[in-house]
Amino acid sequence: MAGGIPTSLHGIYGIRPDPMANLRFDNSFLGALPGDPDHRNSVREVRGALWSEVMPTLVAAPKLLAHSPEMAAILGFSEEEVVSAEFAQLFAGNRLVDGMRPYASNYGGHQFGQWAGQLGDGRAITLGTVIGTDGAGWELQLKGAGKTPYSRHADGRAVLRSSVREFLCSEAMHHLGIPTTRALSLVTTGEDVLRDMFYDGHPELEPGAVVCRVAPSFLRFGHFELPSARGEIELLRTLVDYTIDHHFPELKSASPEHRVGDWFAEICRRTARLVAGWMRVGFVHGVLNTDNMSILGLTIDYGPYGWIDDYDPDFTPNTTDAQGRRYRFGWQPRVAYWNLTQLARALSPLFDDVAPLQAGLDAFAATYAEAERGNIAGKLGLAECRDDDLVLMADLQSWMHAAETDMTIVFRTLSDIPADALTADAFADAHYDAAKRDAAAERLQAWLQRYRQRIADDPLDAASRRVRMRAVNPKYILRNWLAQRAIERAQQGDASGIGELLDVMRHPYDDQPGNEEFAGKRPEWARDRAGCSMLSCSS
């Protein structure tokens, strides 16, 4: 494998010269880190290695349903290449180009607060790392490309509904300004996959699909947890050194005694800013296990995620989490801190004193508090967030919860209407329940009076305030029901809804005449509908 794809596989995978063969690869992860010496694609425990060589499983009839024009351009693909049959074959896993060295990576993790041992890429296969037109390295990973040594009892496949959701949300989050993995393409396989969507004993065949997701790296907290848990400390140290050298270049010159501590603190700060971004736009990850936490501070693994419609800090979109609600919206900051604590524990063998690790955790708390104040100032249109403004925001959130109002619409209304003209009627379109609206009406009136007084004491002029608020309060988010509507159309053979929705989500902060329906609150039919309110990990 040292020079690329084995010659014996060229015929099987259809390698031949074409424009896409000009992709430049940098597979330093494989060169610098130990791999699995066993080349069998069979489920097993893999020790002393961070990756296993594995080839994607061929599929029957790949067809491109959607792609990200921005990501394609960064990777150097022309529109002509994207719509070619070769592109669909490539990003379904049916063919490879020279320089690709497919592998699945080895990691562990805590799931729902419990150590789960080895997990790994059970249905994700990295094709390689491409040097983009921006000069950066971009790891190309196929999700749903077949079995790997880490698939356990699963088939390594993905269904269309979850693939549409991952494709759309990856790009929607990017355009919202939230750090995230990206998505290049969505390809259907022409094959069905058997899934029991809600684990209730009623499996059904669903159309299969593959998403090519893209990131500088898919390294997770769990990559560091597994070797530490196994006592493979030199392997852990090698991985840490590689990660700092390749993904945290600003720390290369740090003194040896501070290097790893500074790195951990930076992970904590990035994670804090990431979660603050989720809270700003109402995103709920749904399954914040440590194996779903990016070491780079990116949103990673779009499974049973959801978006807040009516403001509810206890909302979780994940059916598996329905009873304990560990991963509910309002708990995301504390869960992120807990996950970082597990990462600190995994890294502790590299330290003589845990003080640098505690300093990193303290950096998370301080950075999150600062980011939260920034969110409040931006969302309320203030020059700065004073201590009393924390109470002002908390009281607004309490009203939204009691009155069952739409979080996104409330903040966009605040952004669009001058404070001195705001009345309770301005929020008419944000309510989901008339009785709750009426019961909380006096609370809203009192809050609006306090808000007008606060604005009168703020130095920002009205025009600057509006610009500031509209830059952080989106008009369009990837509401669950919007994604489900596009999925159902695609399942019936009409994939155009995916592209339409992607186009809207590419400009979430802008007014888009003619697209107002995408900004509306959740319709009543979607309140308790599968895919719109609760989702499962079955994908």
CA atoms of 408 and 420, how far apart (whole Å):
21
DSSP string, 319-372: GGGTTT-TT-GGGHHHHHHHHHHHHHHHHGGG-S-SHHHHHHHHHHHHHHHHHH
Cβ neighbours of residue 530 closer than 8 Å, sequence gap 6 or more: 197, 198
What is the H or E stretch that residue 64 is in?
A: strand 63-67
Beta strands in 90-234 (DSSP E): 103-105, 108-111, 114-118, 124-131, 137-143, 182-195, 204-215
Residue 117 · residue 230 · CB < 8 Å: no
Number of Cβ atoms within 10 Å of the Cβ of 428: 11
CA atoms of 238 and 310, how far apart (whole Å):
46
DSSP string, 281-334: HTEE-S---GGGSBTTS-B---SS-EE-SB--TT---BGGGTTT-TT-GGGHHH
Residue 361 · residue 344 · CB < 8 Å: yes
Tokens for 153?
A: 């009892």
Tokens for 468?
A: 């500031």
CA atoms of 312 and 388, how far apart (whole Å):
23
Tokens for 429?
A: 């379109």
Say which amino acid occupies 169.
C
* Known catalytic residue at 291: yes
CA atoms of 52 and 333, how far apart (whole Å):
34
CA atoms of 122 and 144, how far apart (whole Å):
9
Strand, coil or helix: 256: helix
Tokens for 366?
A: 């301080």
**Residue 209: strand pairing partners:** 188
Residue 5's alpha-carbon distances to 98, 329, 339, in angstroms, are: 6, 44, 37
Q: b/e string for 459-475 if b means 16 or more Cβ within 10 A?
A: ebeeeebbebbbebbbb
Catalytic pick from 121, 291, 309, 321? 291
Q: Which residues are catalytic?
A: 291
